[in-house]
Each structure stands twice: as C-alpha cells, then as structure tokens.
C-alpha cells in the first residue's frame, strides 16, 4: 500500500546499514569519483617525480602522500554519505564554524610558503588550507538559512546567507584568494537562484561583482598581473600558462606517450594546479575528454536526482554542493587552456593536495547523502496533485 501512495520502495528500519547504503546510494557517481582518483594517482606517477627530486625526496614521495590523503578522503566520503541529511547539517555547521575561525586567524598564524598569499597553516609534516574545508560547510549552512526563510514566519534567511557570503568573500580576498572567493559567491548565487531569486536581482549582483573585480584590479598588483597575463594576446613561453599551453598543443589527440612529457620538468605546480596539462601532453585529448565526461556525469546525475527531491533544504544544499564541485573542475581546466585567468585551484580528486582531497571527499559525501533514495514522494507527485 505504501508503494502505491508514495511511488517508491520504503526503507526497512531493520535493514543493515551497509546493504541499505549500497541500495540507496548513487553508485554511478561513486564509480566516477573512484575513477577520477585512480587517474590522479596515474598522473601523479608522471608529474610528481621531478618535484620530489628537486626537493630531495624519493621519486614517488608525493604519489605516496597522495594515496594516503586520497584514502582518507574516500573514507570521509563513504562515512559522510551514510549519514542522514539532518546529521550532515549538524556536522556541517560545526565544521563551518571551525573552518571560519581558522580562516579569520590566518593573517596571524598562517603562512604563504613563498607564494605571496597567506592561505595555509603549516603543521610541519603537512599544511592545512581552511578555505577548502569552509566551502562544503558554508554551502550547507547557507542552504539551511534559505530553506528556513521559505517557512511560514521563518527568519530572513536569504539576507542572512547573503551577509555571511560577503563576510567570507572579504576574508578570502584579503589573503588574497580571489579564486575561492569567486567559487563561494557562485555557489551561493546558484542556491539563491534555485530558491526563487528574481533574475533582475541576480543581474544586479553580477554587476556588483564586476565592480568589485575592477576595484581589485586597481588595488591588487597580484590580481592585476594575472588579468593582464590573461588578456595579453601573446603568451610568455616561460610562464606557467606558457608551459601548459605548449604541453596541451604538443599532446595532440593521443599524447606523446607515457612518461615522455616534458612539461612536468618545467611547471612547479604540474602535480596540482596544472595536472590537466600533464594529462593532455602524455595521454592526449582522449584522456582529457574522459576526465571532462566523468565530472559532467557526476554533475548531471546529481542534479537529476535533486530535481525529484521534495525537501527544500536538501534540494538547495545538494545543488550548491554539485555546483561548487563542477565549477571548481571547470575553472581548473579553463585556466590551463587560457579560457580563464590564472587561479590557484586544484582539480577535484585528481590534483595532489591533502586539504583539497579530504575536503573534496567530505563535499562529495555530503552530496551523496543528499541524493540517496529515501522513502518519500517526489516533487512531481505534489505538482500533479495540485493540477487535479
């Protein structure tokens, strides 16, 4: 009788947690993440030995660390995906508060590792980048505020989330980390649009973003240098963008061969921000298209499942998470082919980086938890009921 009313198979409370998790999870998305991580290890074997050699480590030092961080990320993803949406929300609030405090204290206790931007805490054996852990928590907190504003006599959650976004963007811009600031603002804008924001308001906000970018260009030498390099018709072959562009061109359709690439000897960030250039040079356009297809599959699958969701909070939070995940991948690859200005942003689950991998695992775990099949009627059931 329940299936006739709700249209889905109910979850049995006595069912063991692992079979229940496996039956309700989006297995296609999980498979895509595992393939992306495997590709990251494969590319790390090619990209990281030159850096390890220059730093006096064993050839596969960074690959081993990536495997450890990646294993921790996958464990975090699975454990988080097993949680209920309510538990995810509670833990996200706590995680967001911790990451926000860490972000605020960066100017005092943080370090720049000689890169000109104070974004990390040095732990001696590793470093932590608070902004990576801030993103998934912020998305869930902002979605909670927006969903609460849709309730009768609910709080002004839209205004609260907007104010919180501005505060976070301001702290990120102070580092400076304009890439993460844009990513946070975009994630919030997508959720605000899904929550029902008028298009004129979103256009006005886009105009404000352009104005803020103009101010940043005139006041930040770091920001202006990257914009000028992007707008220049000529690419300096000795810059990171020059090396990456040449590697992609040399790779062609099938690549120059495994281990035969040269860009990894020239790019200091070949194993992180420009890992896609290594993929394009050694494996060609074929692997790059496969990577793009994997990210696209995760985004499309998640959005399709969220479209059937009745709970406004889950719908908003899931949309914000998948938008953040997809756009981060797009920015990373867009920079490598000069479609976007240079940004210090990793390719999720593929690039080396402990903070990026573990935070990405948490983000994907939250998304999988929100897109799991639950015993409820779909939103289409409500719409069809109203039409009768």
Domain parsing of the chain, residue ranges: 15-378
Q: Residues 261, 292: contact at Cβ < 8 Å?
A: no
Mean predicted confidence (pLDDT) in 59-81 = 94
User: Is the pLDDT reported for residue 328 higher than 90?
Assistant: yes
pLDDT at 93 (0 to 100) = 96
- How would you write 294-330 as a 3-class SS string? HHHHHHHHHHHHHHCCCCHHHHHHHHHHHHHHHHHHH
Query: pLDDT grade, residue 161 (50/70/90)?
Result: very high
Of the ranges 11-15, 25-29, 72-76, 123-127, which one carries the lowest mean pLDDT score? 11-15
Question: What integer best gives the mean pLDDT of the chain?
Answer: 85
186 closest CA partner among 324, 344, 325, 364: 324
Lowest mean pLDDT among 132-141, 167-176, 256-265: 256-265
Instruction: Supply the pLDDT for residue 348.
Output: 94
Other CB atoms within a 10 A radius of the CB of residue 304 amount to 11
Query: What's the confidence (pLDDT) of residue 144?
Result: 96
Q: Check whether 252 has a pLDDT greater than 90.
A: no
- 139-148, 165-174, 366-375 — which one is most confidently predicted on average? 139-148
323 Cβ neighbours under 8 A, 6+ residues apart: 186, 187, 190, 191
Of residues 170 and 230, the one with the higher pLDDT is 170
- Given a cut of 90, whether residue 270 has pLDDT beyond it is no
- The half-sphere exposure of 110 on its side-chain side, counting CA atoms within 13 A, is 22
CB 147 within 8 A of CB 99: no
Supply 279's token pair: 């993929």
Nearest in space to 6 (alpha carbons), one of 387, 380, 386: 380
Percent of the chain exceeding pLDDT 90 equals 47
Residue 14: the pLDDT is 63
Residue 183 has pLDDT above 50, yes or no: yes
What are the beta bridge partners of residue 376? Answer: none
* H, E, C per residue of 95-126: HHHHHHHHHHCHHHHCECCCCCCCCEEECCCC
Phi, psi of 121 (to 5 degrees): -105, 130
Find the range with the poorest average confidence among 97-106, 149-158, 326-335.
149-158
Cα 373–Cα 379–Cα 382 angle in degrees, nearest 5? 135
Q: Using alpha carbons only, what angle is made at residue 12 by residues 373 and 309, rounded to the nearest 5 degrees?
A: 20
Name the least confident of 217-231, 281-295, 306-320, 360-374.
Answer: 217-231
**SS3 of residue 341 by DSSP:** coil
CA-wise closest residue to 40 among 301, 318, 353, 379? 353
Tokens of 355: 């903070």
Least confident of 43-52, 64-73, 78-87: 43-52
Here the tokens at position 234 are 């000529």
Section 170-189 average pLDDT: 88
249: part of which helix (H) or strand (E)?
helix 240-251
pLDDT at 3 over 50: no
Q: Which helix (H) or strand (E) holds 355?
A: helix 354-370
- pLDDT score recorded for residue 387: 47
pLDDT level of residue 5 (50, 70, 90 thresholds): very low
Nearest to 282 by CA among 40, 47, 32: 47
- Burial group, residue 186, by CB count within 10 angstroms (0-12, 13-18, 19+): middle
At residue 342 the predicted structure's pLDDT band, cuts being 50, 70 and 90, is confident
Class of residue 70 by CB neighbours under 10 A (exposed 0-12, middle 13-18, buried 19+): buried
Is residue 65's pLDDT more than 60? yes
Query: Which pLDDT value is given to residue 229?
Result: 66
Average pLDDT estimate for 352-371: 95
**Local confidence band at 184 (pLDDT 50, 70, 90 cut-offs):** very high
Beta strand residue intervals within the chain, DSSP E = 121-122, 127-128
Is residue 196 pLDDT above 70, yes or no?
A: yes
């Amino acid at each position: 009788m329940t299936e006739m009313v709700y249209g889905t198979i109910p979850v049995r409370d006595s069912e063991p947690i692992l079979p229940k998790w496996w039956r309700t999870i989006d297995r296609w998305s999980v498979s895509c993440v595992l393939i992306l991580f495997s590709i990251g290890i494969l590319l790390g074997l090619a990209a990281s030995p030159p850096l390890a050699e220059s730093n006096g480590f064993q050839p596969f030092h960074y690959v081993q660390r990536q495997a450890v961080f990646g294993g921790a990320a996958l464990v975090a993803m699975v454990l988080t995906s097993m949680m209920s949406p309510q538990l995810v929300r509670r833990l996200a609030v706590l995680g967001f508060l911790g990451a926000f405090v860490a972000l605020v204290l960066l100017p005092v206790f943080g370090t720049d590792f000689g890169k000109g931007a104070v974004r990390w805490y040095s732990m001696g054996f590793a470093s932590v980048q608070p902004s990576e852990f801030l993103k998934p928590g912020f998305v869930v907190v902002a979605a909670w505020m927006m969903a609460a504003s849709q309730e009768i006599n609910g709080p002004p959650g839209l205004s609260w989330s907007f104010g919180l976004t501005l505060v976070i963007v301001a702290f990120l811009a102070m580092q400076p980390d304009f890439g993460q600031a844009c990513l946070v603002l975009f994630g919030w804008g997508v959720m605000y649009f899904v929550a029902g924001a008028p298009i004129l308001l979103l256009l006005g906000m886009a105009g404000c973003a352009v104005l803020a970018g103009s101010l940043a260009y005139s006041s930040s030498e770091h920001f202006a240098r990257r914009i000028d390099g992007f707008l220049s018709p000529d690419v300096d072959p000795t810059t990171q963008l020059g090396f990456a562009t040449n590697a992609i061109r040399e790779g062609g359709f099938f690549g120059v061969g495994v281990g035969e690439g040269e860009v990894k000897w020239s790019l200091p960030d070949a194993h992180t921000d420009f890992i896609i250039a290594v993929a394009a040079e050694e494996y060609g356009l074929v692997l790059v298209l496969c990577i793009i297809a994997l990210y696209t599959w995760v985004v499309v699958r998640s959005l399709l499942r969220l479209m059937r969701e009745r709970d406004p909070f889950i719908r908003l939070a899931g949309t914000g998470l998948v938008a953040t995940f997809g756009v981060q991948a797009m920015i990373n690859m867009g920079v490598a082919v000069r479609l976007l200005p240079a940004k210090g942003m990793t390719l999720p689950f593929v690039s080396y980086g402990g903070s990026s991998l573990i935070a990405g695992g948490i983000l994907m775990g939250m998304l999988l938890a929100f897109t799991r099949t639950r015993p409820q009627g779909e939103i289409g059931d409500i719409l069809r009921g109203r039409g009768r």
